[in-house]
């Protein structure tokens, strides 16, 4: 598996170059898509495995082509349609791929622009390609779990029944996650009523509904905080490295103690929370703290060129969290204390993933 991870990272590098330089579909195919198929274990120079410009008659349409048909043991296993890196997949009409899916034995279709790969199957209706992908892989931004999912499509381990079963599970899991995320942000009346029937004696009237809504929303927030805190406890309880031996303070230590920098308990708590959020993507040791007079920086690899966020906790009246985007531009958000960092978990994860390689 380690070799596969390394090969995927090479594709990630190619994708970044293609995003800047590949202006045509052919350039995208050559620079990213064919190497991607090779990474999955297919011989792109063998027509028994990869057939470019695959032609099949679809009803009254004659001579239509799909960019690649990928074969295993002489049977078409996957269809792949390529788009230039300059194209957003969300804007693409993939009718050709949809039509070909129904007239070939393939049960898997891939749409890619060299930046992302969208995977489709027939989980809704047999032999009819789903309208939505069951898996999206971002070549430039992915975690270990997503690479492990991608490994399912390697030639040497390709099992279509297992893939389709996983696709069905992924589809429902992600649909449920999307629904629950919506309820977390703004609970719908039906959701509040469903929960309300379990916790309220009597009819759930409109007035009761409005009274329960903020309580249910707070309860959902509390559940998420508790789960993250549990992961935090497990992470640090499992860190059994011995404490360093006590030593006499050096003159350098004495000088630094008078520089006006005092790392507070809240800043340390903020560091621990960021580590907990980052733990599912990177080893927690990579998330470090570096205090300064005006802010406390949370960095990746103790490198000030890899900022994750900044904690502005020195003021007695207001506190802020600084979040960095992909361009390392900082946006400040007013917060009450360390616990509010959980509200920005998605932004923190994005910053961590940018430096995860």
Give the pLDDT confidence score for residue 237 in this predicted structure.
Answer: 53
Question: Same CATH topology for 2-173 and 261-354?
Answer: no
3-class secondary structure for 285-314? HHEEEEECCCCEEEEECCEEEEEEEEEECC
Length in residues, the chain: 357
Strand-by-strand arrangement of the 330-335 sheet: 287-291, 296-300, 303-312, 319-324, 330-335
- Is the pTM for the entire model greater than 0.85? no
Cα atoms in the Cβ-side hemisphere of radius 13 Å centred on 268:
4
Give the pLDDT confidence score for residue 309 in this predicted structure.
Answer: 94
The domain defined by 2-173 folds into tt1808, chain A (3.90.1570)
pLDDT at 244 over 50: no
How far apart, in whole angstroms, are the C-alpha atoms of residue 102 and residue 122?
10
Per-residue pLDDT tens over the stretch 15-29: 999 999 988 999 999
Mean pLDDT of the chain: 83
Give the pLDDT confidence score for residue 47 in this predicted structure.
Answer: 95
How far apart, in whole angstroms, are the C-alpha atoms of residue 264 and residue 268?
6
Per-residue pLDDT tens over the stretch 60-109: 556 678 899 999 989 898 999 999 999 888 877 777 788 888 788 888 99
Q: Answer whether 111's CB lies under 8 Å from 83's CB.
A: yes
- Per-domain residue ranges for the chain? 2-173, 186-237, 261-354
The CATH number, out of the four listed (1.10.287, 3.90.930, 1.10.3470, 3.40.50), of the domain defined by the range 261-354: 3.90.930
Instruction: Report the phi/psi class of residue 171: left, alpha or beta, with left for phi > 0 and alpha for psi in -120 to 50.
Output: alpha
């Amino acid at each position: 598996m380690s070799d596969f991870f390394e090969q995927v990272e090479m594709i990630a590098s190619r994708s970044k170059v293609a995003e800047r330089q590949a202006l045509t579909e052919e350039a995208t195919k050559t620079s990213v898509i064919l190497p991607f198929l090779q990474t999955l274990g297919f011989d792109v120079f063998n027509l028994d495995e990869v057939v470019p410009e695959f032609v099949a008659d679809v009803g009254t349409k004659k001579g239509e082509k799909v960019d690649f048909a990928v074969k295993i043991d002489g049977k078409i296993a996957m269809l792949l349609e390529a788009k230039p890196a300059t194209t957003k997949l969300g804007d693409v009409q993939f009718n050709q791929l949809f039509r070909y899916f129904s007239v070939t034995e393939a049960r898997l279709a891939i749409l890619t622009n060299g930046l992302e790969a969208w995977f489709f199957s027939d989980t809704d209706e047999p032999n009819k390609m789903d309208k939505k992908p069951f898996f999206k892989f971002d070549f430039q931004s992915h975690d270990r779990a997503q690479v492990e999912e991608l490994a399912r499509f390697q030639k040497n381990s390709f099992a279509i029944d297992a893939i389709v079963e996983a696709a069905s599970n992924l589809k429902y899991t992600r649909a449920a996650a999307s629904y629950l995320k919506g309820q977390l942000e703004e609970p719908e009346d039906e959701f509040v009523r469903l929960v309300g029937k379990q916790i309220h004696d009597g009819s759930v009237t409109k007035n009761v509904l409005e009274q329960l809504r903020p309580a249910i929303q707070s309860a959902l927030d509390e559940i998420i905080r508790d789960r993250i805190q549990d992961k935090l406890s497990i992470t640090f309880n499992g860190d059994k490295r011995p404490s360093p031996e006590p030593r006499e303070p050096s003159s350098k230590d004495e000088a630094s103690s008078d520089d006006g920098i005092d790392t507070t308990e809240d800043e340390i708590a903020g560091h621990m929370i960021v580590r907990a959020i980052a733990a599912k993507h990177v080893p927690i040791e990579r998330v470090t703290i570096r205090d300064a007079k005006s802010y406390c920086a949370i960095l990746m690899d103790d490198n000030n060129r890899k900022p994750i966020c900044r904690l502005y906790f020195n003021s007695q009246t207001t506190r802020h969290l600084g979040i960095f985007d992909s361009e390392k531009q900082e946006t400040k958000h007013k917060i009450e204390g360390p616990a509010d960092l959980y509200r920005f978990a998605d932004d923190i994860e994005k910053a961590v993933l940018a430096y995860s390689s």
